[in-house]
Structure 1
Amino acid sequence: MLIPQGLPYYGDETYYIPWTLGTLSSYNLQIWTPGNGPSTGVLSLFPTMLLVGLRGILGQELGVKGYLLLLAWLTAIIPYAATKQLLRHWKFVLDPLRLELASGVSGLVCLLFFSNQAIVAGSNSFVWNYAMFPLLASSLMIFMDTGTIRQLLIFGISSAVASPQPFWPYLVGIVGLIYLIFSLERRISTPHRVKLIKNSLLAVATGLGFNAFWIVPTAAGYLFQAGGSTFQLYGAQGAVSLGDLSFLSFWSFQDVLLLGESAHYFFWDHPQTYTLFSIIIPLVAVTSVLAYRRNRAVFFVGAVLIVGALATAGVNEPIGVLYYLLTSYLPYGAAAILRNPTKFVPIVTFAYGLLLGLGVIAVSSSLSSRRFSLLISSRNLVRHSIVLTLVFLILAPITYGTLLDLQGYTWPRYSPSNIPEQYGQLNNWLTAQPGDYKVMWIPAAGAYDWKPYAITAFPDLLSSKPTVPFTSIYPNPLGSTYNIGKILAFMGVKYVVYHGDSINYPNDQILQTLLAQRDLATVESLNGTISPKDDSHTPLPIDAPGTDFTDRPFHLSNVTLPRGQDNLTMSYTIPKTVIDQGYTSGQFADYFSIGLYGFPAGSVDFSNQIFFATVAHQDMTNATSGYVSFNVTSSLNYPSTSIDLYANFYDGGYRPLTPIYFIDRLTLVPNQVTNRYFIFENTDFDGTVFSQNVNIANNANMTELLISNASIVSSPSANLTSYQQTSGVEARVTFQASAPFVMILTEPFDRLWRAYIGSSEIQPTPIYGLVNGFLVNQTGTLNIRVYYPLQTYLYVGMALSAASLSLFLLAIVLVWRKSRPKTTASLEKTLSVPVPTQLFDQLQPRAFGKSKAPNS
């Protein structure tokens, strides 16, 4: 991922974005994304700041790769440091070298675990939870015991840094509650119990204060129902279902305890990642509990491990029904966060890291005892070798599962690649166009012939202008109208950008539909070529069940296949096994025929087949042989050079009568893929803000807009004289109005938008169910301010977080000044007083230690 040239990105990890201060401002410091709706981009504030800083120092590519390397390092160094301070605090290990060994083992366990998103998933948002949780948990527990303000500050800052995936309150809440119960259960005095509870509440308040920058706007979004449903995507009724939880509960209780996973299908199908050797992991953990049983903290760590394993198992046995009941009755997004139980795995890895580190120390201590020293002749080299072998036996099965994930999932998907230069040319063209407008890229997301793995929100996030999701019009109403520009005008879209490099959408069909629109005019076109992946030497899947690679009753005379639609002809011979089943006529019909399959080279995956065709024409030589032709369609931009061709005989119910026979490996021609790019201008576009007659408020939905003959023309009674967009959440406009009108704001409808004319406030009404309309009853020169008030709550939250940090820094300074040792220096004038000679002679021997008395 780091060495090859290009950017490593895939899925939600959009490292192709130009990480600039403008990106930080528009995506992370605004609660509204133009053209899309309410945004939770403030959660990714810290990753964006880090990427912007690294890009400014190292450039885009090295900055992204440096970011990935830094986060991978943090997933090891933070557990190492957290383990070290906890073991020292609990007085488990006092010897410096053994403390380093235990902490190092803990850090390596967390680093090498297959669910470390910094290693196997491009450092997605979950890695911030995974990396910061050990520091959060350790600083919280030490503060609960000692009340040290430094630990509380570390807890607050760590919680804010973990905000990209706001799951840390669940993780820390579980561990903190267990620790509080264990602490209160001890025979301690009442003042100590009060101190524990007070410190716990203070930690909660600190977490709220430091995270106010995202808690306040999110809570306000829930309260005011921002976006209608955006902030309440999951409610108490629709948050989870037993089927969803069963699918997403990937790991059984046994899988979790062995730090492995069984075979499952989500992003990819892979083998079981743990073996018999993995049993050493729980054995060493139990050893540490037995060896340190006199220290009650070891039982706390064991309890945390068990609770974390049960939560990570989700709805699997042994207590899965309780997990389902809990998630079923939680409100709002709280239940949605729990719909993926694997998020609890940081608890397991950190608890295991502590126990495994202690287990190694327990074995090392046993080897250093007098009895074992005699057995191994007191050779340090032998003792050290045994300890290192134990560490290897612990880490090897953990690393094995990670390597399987890297080979099957990470390395192919995150293989560094470059975005075609045509996207830069399209963005430069858009940037050169004057005015304020939005763009619609068609299609968006999915996989591309130059990156055959899904990229979320591409190319929208790469766009130099605000975008509107193309799913707003695709597949309908785009496929059912020739006036799509009307709808696009109300969305504020002036340009539609088509790019024909998608492999998930019917590119040619979409292009023909766009060309047929009456209100879209072509203003720019580009072509680009790519070299597809050469998979001609990929091994055949000879072990695939139900296949036959030897007795092939089909033969091709030509092993090349033109890209696109083509006719493919081959000879056939009906096997005796088919004739014996009663198919003796040799004539293909609905009840008996041949099925032709095209698969990616090296696979027989029916869920990923390229094409399937039945017989289009038959020429019989005799009752058992002849020639058949098929009409096959391969994508014009299929991203590889080869296709494996298979066929079988089937009956009327498509029941296979034979195995699926491998015929040959076809080579696609030409050996280059040509992609087309177009920019269409919407001739109905009337501005980001425009006026309409008051009767438009009576229209209900897009259907009425499409069936009406009215054009998108501003109301003659209201003329827009000036428009200034100060940010994505605020604009100032001036109208010269002679009669009431409706001001159209081309942003997705949200009841929180407001228009202010002087001291009066106007609430929006939905226009065609799409955008915001403000009914303006005043006339004359009207200066209108349009604002999204949820932004104010973002500012309030950020101010509270900044105030919390400032107060803590001030408190630390005051505590430091109070505890600083005071030195006094006399400013009085020193007087020279003569010393009697006799007294000086008596004091001189004592001053230099030459006393006659031995005890002086």
Structure 2
Amino acid sequence: MSIGRIYNNKILINSKFVLYFIVIIFYFILTLLILAPVLMPQGIPFYGDEVFYPLNNISYFGVYVSKNPVLDFYIWKNSGGPDPPLLYFSHTLPLYILITLFGQELGVKAFQLILASIPGIFSFISLYILLKEFKPLSEKKSIVFSLIGSLIYSYSFYSGDLTGLGTTIGVVYGTFPLMSALSIRFLKRGNISDLFFLSLLSMIASAQPFWIYLLGISLVLSFLLLGLNRSVIKRLFILGGTLILANSFWIWSTLMGYLKGASWIFSSYTTSELITYDNLKFLSFWRVLDIMLMGERQYYFIWLHPQTIRPENVVIPIVAAVAILLGRRNRLVLYFSLMLVLGIFLTKGVHEPAGYVYYELAKNLPYGLGAILRNPTKFIPLVVYSYSFLISYSIVELFSRYRKIFARIGLVGALVLVFYSIFTVTLTYLSHYTWKVYSPTYIPNVYINANKWLLDQGGNFTVVWLPVGGAYVWKPYVISAFPLPLSSAPASSVSPLINNKIIDNATELCNILTYLGVKYVLYHNDSLDVQQSGRILKGLRSSFCLRPVASFAQTVKAIDVSNSPPPKNGTWILGLPVQTVDVPLKIIRSNDTLVRGENTIVVYYRIPSFVVNQGYKGRFWPGFSVALNVYKAGSLDLNDRLVIAILDNGGLKKQILINDTSGYIIFNVNLTNCPYNAVDIYANFYGCCFKPLTPSYYLGRFRVEPDSVPIGIEVFENTGYRGPVFVANGSAEVLSVVQLDPIHWRAVVNASGPFLLVFTQPFDRLWEIELPPGYTASHFQCYMANCYLINPNGRNGVVTVDFVYGLQIYQTAGFLVTFSTLAALAYLAFFRGSNASLRSVLRRFLS
């Protein structure tokens, strides 16, 4: 039934369009309220490598930067390596448009709000579509059914775009329900409009190619709904072929990158590199009980997330099981029941039961297909989507069958309990994790000034930022990708590889920097790992090829947490109960102040009798010791742990025995970059493999002085820098070098004999060299760069040498195929014949 006409009656707006519009507004408003703590304050919400960073932008600074989408047509990232444009339609293009329209901060926040709202909007539409196709209900029941399910799907703590703003896996979580519903409806009806929108969604979901597995499982199970006949099989082949063509923009270059042996992601993101049983076990975060109860209860030594399972969570699988009993002859119920079982089995990874099956599956898939499976938790959309349908089915079906007031009150109570169980977990997760680690932040001016200085130098050079990660002083949570993505000059991907061994070897360091075209090394001192940072700075200062040329400084005021309430006895930290009374450890100190630097902390200890009875006493060793944990004052979150001092990392410097059960321990604690003005100190006895033997004992609160933290950046120039292309040996001289585009460089060389030419982009065997006829060349790696031994064979003189990246042709062709496919689908859906007008397409899509 239409309610109005616009554009001279050419487009009919029916009631379902109004319904979807209301749903969109509803989820935008609700999501905005939930994410208000990170979207409303000034600053840009970001955290670590869980969010999209544009690379090597040279005109604008910030965590999210307007990145020219044209550059993403090129597969080679300057000074980095080949990188398929998986994020083009999910992040690069939308961010560019939003930032252009609204500015950086508002554009980023609008992007995050849209992504976080998508799971609710798309899951509502998907459930509504499936109900209309396979279980016709009244309009009111369909809306209530879809609303219940979409609330469950959107606001579970598994929703990556809600709890991890901007994450690529969150894009897959949000788009999967609608992709599943549209694919099923296409197999049933064969509407080109469904195929068009499905192709668009798949291109967005390609931020994480994991969607292929999810949609594949959905399609296999869809035969339970559609049967297996000739028309379904025909449409299945059409669907598969169309999705491959629509995603050619990344599939072709990715496939050829693996087949041709490209570098970087193609050599590291492989089954052989990533799939081991131990790695899978570590990344199998959730056991069967965690998944079924939609929470998590385990503790990991480095796990940052709060434990969220509560007894009331048991209502979730119970209500879902009721749907299986009520609708055991309903094909939709069977479809989602099997999806739930498969989802639980796959999401648990290598945990029992039958965990080894997952390992064998991941290990035996070639290239990156197995590597994608290294994180089993990505299968969680199957579980939550199934729960969203089954729980909605139980409530609506029982509400229809039982009309007595008390029965309906009970059903409403059960639904409220389900919502309470799911939303409480989500709010706990948001308050302990998302709202904290994604707190809006502006990048300090010291980084802006350093990047402006780099721009002023001019020329075509590469830089290295050390250390990689950190920036803890002004962003008190780990930022593992910083600051490479924000560099105004191309930042070399070698930065993480300059480890202690290379830093301590000046000759090796200088050769690597020169061969990779690095002109400047920038050291920033705001990393939390002060010991490692100090070692890096010492190595840079002692290197014979590096000389300091600039420095930038800024002071940041410490965050005042001195008045935070102390912990209460019986609360929990690190998966352990906190004990504040009868503490067998005591800090021996004349005052309650620590300095912003090295601190020697002396602790008297007495080994509790229940620990002694387990056979632990005497001299400490790696299988028995004391761990000293320094936390932000007032916090019990692992996110806020500043220091852990143990025997293995040198934090425990000395043990002085009084007897076998008591003595003194001397700890070394460095608080140079502590962003707070007060800390709480805890300690516990632990056994083998860090297994805790005692509660976590609270040893007291200490002020940290002074109350300001200096931030500094030192810039070193590589005096051995010889340009992006140079002659390392032989009878030749480079006259000029020009970069024509990201995948094409040209050098003019005056040669009088054989010579070794170095092209300073990271080594990749697909960098092809073009020489005049009669010249011969061999390509090999030296100091991580591309080296070419060129022989003029008597043709001496000036020669033009072109370096062209061979994988680009496949990416260019892939983009052409993608856009051609979309154009063809749009023509078939919108312009071919009277039944394919925009009005009819909207009617069919919304029906």
TM-score category of the 2 structures, normalised to the smaller one: 0.7 to 0.9
Counterpart secondary structure, 1:4: coil
CA deviation map 1:603-660 (0-9, x unaligned) = 7989942574556999x9xx9xxx9996844232222223445689999xx9999998
Paired residues of 1:289 and 1:299 also in contact (CA < 8 A):
yes
User: In the aligned structure 2, how far is the partner of 1:589 from the partner of 1:730?
Assistant: 60
553, 557, 564: which one pairs with 1:531? Answer: 557
- Of the three residues 544, 567, 570, the one matched with 1:540 is 567
Q: What is the identity, as a one-letter code, of the residue corresponding to 1:685?
A: Y
Which shifted more, 171-180 or 298-307? 298-307
Mapped to 2, the partners of 1:293 and 1:645 lie a distance apart of 56
Match of 2:211 among 152, 161, 168: 168
Residue number in structure 2 paired with 1:780: 797
CA contact (8 A) 1:597 1:646 kept: yes
Which amino acid in structure 2 is aligned with residue 686 of structure 1?
R
Q: Which residue of 705, 719, 733 maps to 1:683?
A: 719
Is 1:56 the counterpart of 2:76? The answer is no
- Tell me the SS of whatever aligns to 1:455: coil
Amino acid at match of 1:771: A
Q: 1:359 aligns with which of 378, 382, 394?
A: 394
Partner of 2:721: helix, strand, or coil? coil
Question: Secondary structure of 1:314's match?
Answer: coil
Match of 1:220 in 2: 256
Q: Which residue of 2 aligns with 1:75?
A: 119
Measured in 1, the distance between the counterparts of 2:65 and 2:683 equals: 53
The code of the aligned residue for 1:530 comes to V
**1:178 CA displacement:** 1.7
1:195–1:266 distance in 2 versus 1, CA, 3 Å: farther
Distance verdict in 2 for CA 1:44–1:409, change over 3 Å: farther
Residue among 772, 793, 803 paired with 2:810: 793
What is the SS of the residue equivalent to 2:173? helix
Q: What is the rounded CA distance, in whole Å, between the counterparts of 2:605 and 2:157 in structure 1? A: 50
Structure 1 residue 107: Cα displacement: 1.0
**Alpha-carbon spacing, 1:574–1:145, altered in 2? closer, same or farther (3 Å):** closer
- The answer to whether the 8 Å contact 2:446/2:712 transfers is no
1:113 to partner: Cα distance: 1.0
Which segment is superposed worse, 125-134 or 548-557?
548-557
Contact in 2 for aligned 1:121/1:410 (Cα 8 Å): yes
Corresponding residue number in structure 2 for 1:2: 39
User: How far apart in 2 are the matches of 1:323 and 1:311?
Assistant: 7
- For residues 609 and 86 of structure 2, the distance between their equivalents in structure 1, rounded to whole angstroms, comes to 66
Correspondent of 1:559 among 592, 602, 611: 592
Identity %: 32
Q: 1:761, 1:58 → 2: CA distance?
A: 54
Deviation at 1:666, TM superposition (A): 2.3
Alpha-carbon distance, 1:14 to partner: 4.3
CA distance in 1, matches of 2:130, 2:691: 64
Determine the structure 2 residue equivalent to 1:666. Answer: 702
Unmatched runs of 5 consecutive residues or more in structure 2: 1-37, 54-60, 571-575, 614-618, 839-847
| Residue 241 (structure 2) aligned to one of 180, 199, 205 | 205
Q: Secondary structure at the match of 1:428?
A: helix
Cα RMSD after superposing both structures: 3.8
Q: Which has the higher contact order (CA 8 A, sep 6+)?
A: 2
1:504 maps to what in 2? 529
Rg larger in structure: 1
* More off after superposition, 797-806 vs 640-649: 640-649
Pairing 1:103–2:140 present: no
2:518 aligned to which of 493, 503, 509? 493
Q: Do the aligned residues in 2 keep the contact of 1:447 with 1:504 (CA within 8 Å)? A: no
Residue aligned with 2:39, SS: coil
Q: 1:285 to 1:561 in 2, by over 3 A?
A: closer
Could you say which residue in structure 1 is the equivalent of 2:476? Answer: 452
1:762/1:239 Cα in 2 relative to 1: closer, same or farther (>3 Å)? farther
Instruction: Quote the offset at 1:306 in angstroms.
Output: 1.9
Give the 3 Å change call, closer, same or farther, for CA 236–461 of structure 1 in structure 2. Answer: closer
Larger displacement relative to structure 2 (499-508 or 268-277): 268-277
Listed one character per residue, the Cα deviations across residues 102-123 of structure 1 (whole Å, up to 9, x for unaligned) are: 1111111111111100111123
Letter paired with 1:51: L
- Counterpart residue identity of residue 107, structure 2: G
Counterpart amino acid of 1:413? V
1:233 equivalent in structure 2: 268
How much has 1:820 moved relative to structure 2?
A: 7.5
Deviation at 1:155, TM superposition (A): 1.6
CA distance in 2 between counterparts of 1:287 and 1:275 reads: 21
- Residue 24 of structure 2 corresponds to which residue in structure 1? none
Are 2:679 and 2:703, in contact at CA under 8 Å, matched by a contact in 1?
yes
SS of the equivalent of 2:753 reads coil
Distance 2:215 2:450 in 1: 47
Hey, what's the Cα distance between the residues in 1 that align with 2:408 and 2:725?
74
**1:802, distance to aligned residue in structure 2 (A):** 0.8
Q: Which letter maps to 2:332?
A: A
Q: Distance in 2 between matches of 1:243 and 1:808?
A: 45
- Matches for 1:91-490 after TM superposition, within 5 Å: 91-93=135-137, 95-180=138-223, 183-184=226-227, 193-227=229-263, 230-265=265-300, 268=303, 273-367=308-402, 372=403, 375-376=404-405, 388-446=412-470, 448-468=472-492, 469-481=494-506, 484-490=509-515
- What are the superposed Cα offsets for residues 215-261 of structure 1, whole Å, 9 maximum, x if unpaired? 0000000110001x631435454542333323322323343233333
Indicate how the Cα distance of structure 1 residues 556 and 44 shifts in structure 2: closer, same or farther if over 3 A, else same: same
Q: Deviations for 1:753-787, whole angstroms, at most 9, x for unmatched residues?
A: 01112467866523434211223323222122211
User: Does residue 520 of the first structure (1) align with residue 546 of the second (2)?
Assistant: yes
1:41/1:641 CA distance change after superposition, 3 Å: farther
Q: SS of the counterpart of 1:128?
A: helix
Pair 282,754 (structure 1): closer, same or farther in 2 beyond 3 Å = same
- The Cα shift of 1:497 comes to 0.8
CA distance in 2, matches of 1:628, 1:534: 32
Distance between the aligned counterparts of 1:541 and 1:142, measured in 2? 56
Does the CA-based 8 Å contact 2:587-2:602 persist in structure 1? no
Secondary structure (helix, strand or coil) at the match of 1:476 reads helix
The TM-score normalised by the length of structure 1 is 0.81
2:686 and 2:208 mapped to 1: Cα distance? 51
Q: Distance in 1 between matches of 2:314 and 2:710?
A: 54
Question: 2:46, 2:63 within 8 Å by CA — same for their partners in 1?
Answer: no
Counterpart residue number, 1:848: none
Amino acid at match of 2:266: F
User: Which region of structure 1 is more displaced relative to structure 2, 717-726 or 457-466?
Assistant: 717-726
C-alpha deviations, 1:162-207, integer Å up to 9, x for none? Answer: 100001111111110121255336xxxxxxx111110011100011
1:819 CA displacement = 6.6
Deviation readout 1:326-345 (Å, 9 max, x if unpaired): 22322121111112221111
Structure 2 counterpart SS, 1:722: strand
Cα distance in 1 for residues equivalent to 2:666 and 2:390 = 63
Can you list the C-alpha shifts for 1:104-148, whole angstroms capped at 9, x where unaligned?
Answer: 111111111111001111230001111111111111111111111
Distance in 1 (CA, whole Å) between partners of 2:551 and 2:167 is 35
List alignment gaps of at least 5 residues for structure 1: 186-192, 377-381, 582-587, 695-716, 822-856
Paired residues of 2:52 and 2:166 also in contact (CA < 8 A): no
Name the SS for the 2:737 alignment partner: strand
How does 1:608-757 map onto structure 2 within 5 Å?
608-610=643-645, 612-613=651-652, 632-644=668-680, 664-694=700-730, 717-757=731-771
> Against the structure 1 CA distance between its residues 348 and 679, is the aligned structure 2 distance closer, same or farther, given a 3 Å change threshold?
same
The answer to whether the Cα contact below 8 Å between 1:721 and 1:736 also exists between their aligned partners in 2 is yes
SS at match of 1:740: strand
Change (3 A) 1:659 1:322: closer
TM-score (norm 2): 0.82
Q: CA deviation at 1:516?
A: 1.5
- CA deviation profile, 1:22-52 (whole Å, cap 9, x unmatched): 44344x3221122222213444443111111
Q: Hey, what does 1:698 align to over in structure 2?
A: none
- Which whole-Å deviations, capped at 9, do the CAs of 1:403-435 have from their partners, x for residues lacking one? 222233222211222211100000000001121
